[in-house]
Amino acid sequence: MIDSILDDFFWRALIGGLGVALVAGPLGCFVVWRRLAYFGDTLAHSALLGIALSFVIQVPINVGVIITCLGLALALVLFSRNKTLATDTLLGILAHSALAIGLVTLSFMPSVRMDLTGLLFGDLLAMSRGDLWWIYGGAATILCLLALLWRGLLMSTIHEELARVEGVPVERLRLALILMFAIVIAVAMKIVGVLLITALLIIPAATARRLARTPEQMVAMAMLFGFIAVTGGLALSWELDTPAGPSVVVTAFSCFLLISAVGGKQRA
């Protein structure tokens, strides 16, 4: 039964997409709470470089992407110590340079046949069983980490200094969060592509903000809106033969507009 479902590429795409939405919800909330939208974008843009790297050092693509994201996060920390440039300038430089270097590097590898549009905007058809393993393995890792570190993560998001005084290991939690971002980027790339990952993170979370009264409610609702976006987007893509990633983002944005219109004012 399950096997026959997994033989169908549409179901594979849907199951994979729901797995991504499951982790994009909570992580998206942290992106919104900590104002990391630009940061997430920068990490995502480096994914192409990660793909190139994975061919050079002969590791699975996902591993290459995770390593590159972590490397870039580290570079950001090092660069931002020297405070002559504003963070958004720095992020802009690194985001686009990483994307450009990735594209240039890939062009040097004629033997590597890559569907560039699929990488940039997501590829519904390319979802394999192996990808599903990656998505659910990644999702399980992230959800476990979040459950374990929840209180500390929340506290250091609310007030970093207060958290420090209360003995929360703020720095280590920040690293854990970056690691989780790297994982979610590596697995979400398949669904929405590197250029649109941030949208899948922040739009459902921003939509949930209108309705939520507690941080946990916001996370649950962000997951729900993520599910709706993925399901609706894939259906749209299937029916109208539109690109998968943009369709998912368009659906998410429609939800956002709808809730903003009828949801009234922010509650808490």
Partner 1 sequence: MNEVLAELSKVSVTLNDRLIVDQVSLSIKRGDIITIIGPNGAGKTTLIKTILGIQKATSGSISLQSGLVIGYVPQTLNLETTLPLSVERFMALSGCDRKGCQQALARTGVAHLSAASVHHLSGGEKQRLLLARALARQPGLLVLDEPAQGVDINGQAALYDLVRQLRDELNCGVIMISHDLHLVMAATDKVICLNQHVCCSGFPEDISHDPAFIETFGTAVAESLAVYHHHHNHRHDLHGNVIGDGSAIDGALKKGALDDAKAAPTCSGHHHD
Contact residues toward partner 1 (CB under 8 A) are 32-35, 151, 154-155, 157-159, 161-162, 164-166, 206, 209, 212-215, 217-218, 266-268
Token pair 């989780």 in the structure block, residue: 180
Q: Tell the smallest beta-carbon distance from residue 185 to partner 1 (Å).
A: 21
Q: Tell the smallest beta-carbon distance from residue 260 to partner 1 (Å).
A: 14
Q: Tell the smallest beta-carbon distance from residue 202 to partner 1 (Å).
A: 10
Residue type, 176: A
Q: Tell the smallest beta-carbon distance from residue 184 to partner 1 (Å).
A: 19
- Torsion over CA of 191, 196, 200 and 201, rounded to 10 degrees? 120
Q: Considering the complex, state which of residue 29 and residue 188 has its C-beta at the smaller distance from partner 1.
A: 29
Exposure b/e, 178-193, CB count within 10 A at least 16 = b: bbbbbbbbbbbbbbbb
Q: Considering the complex, state which of residue 168 and residue 230 has its C-beta at the smaller distance from partner 1.
A: 168
In terms of phi and psi (left: phi > 0; alpha: psi -120 to 50; beta: otherwise), the region of 169 is beta
In terms of Cβ atoms closer than 10 Å to its own Cβ (0-12, 13-18, 19+), residue 156 is: buried
Q: Considering the complex, state which of residue 151 and residue 172 has its C-beta at the smaller distance from partner 1.
A: 151
**With the C-alpha atoms ordered 190, 192, 196, 202, is the resulting torsion angle positive or negative?**
negative
Q: Considering the complex, state which of residue 62 and residue 156 has its C-beta at the smaller distance from partner 1.
A: 156
The crossing angle, in degrees rounded to 10, of helices 129-158 and 170-192 is 140
- Torsion over CA of 256, 39, 153 and 265, rounded to 10 degrees? -30
Q: Tell the smallest beta-carbon distance from residue 79 to partner 1 (Å).
A: 17
Q: Considering the complex, state which of residue 69 and residue 212 has its C-beta at the smaller distance from partner 1.
A: 212
Nearest to 98 by CA among 174, 24, 194: 194
Q: Tell the smallest beta-carbon distance from residue 159 to partner 1 (Å).
A: 7
| d(C-alpha 25, C-alpha 254), whole Å | 17
Structure tokens at 134: 């990656």
Q: Considering the complex, state which of residue 204 and residue 246 has its C-beta at the smaller distance from partner 1.
A: 204
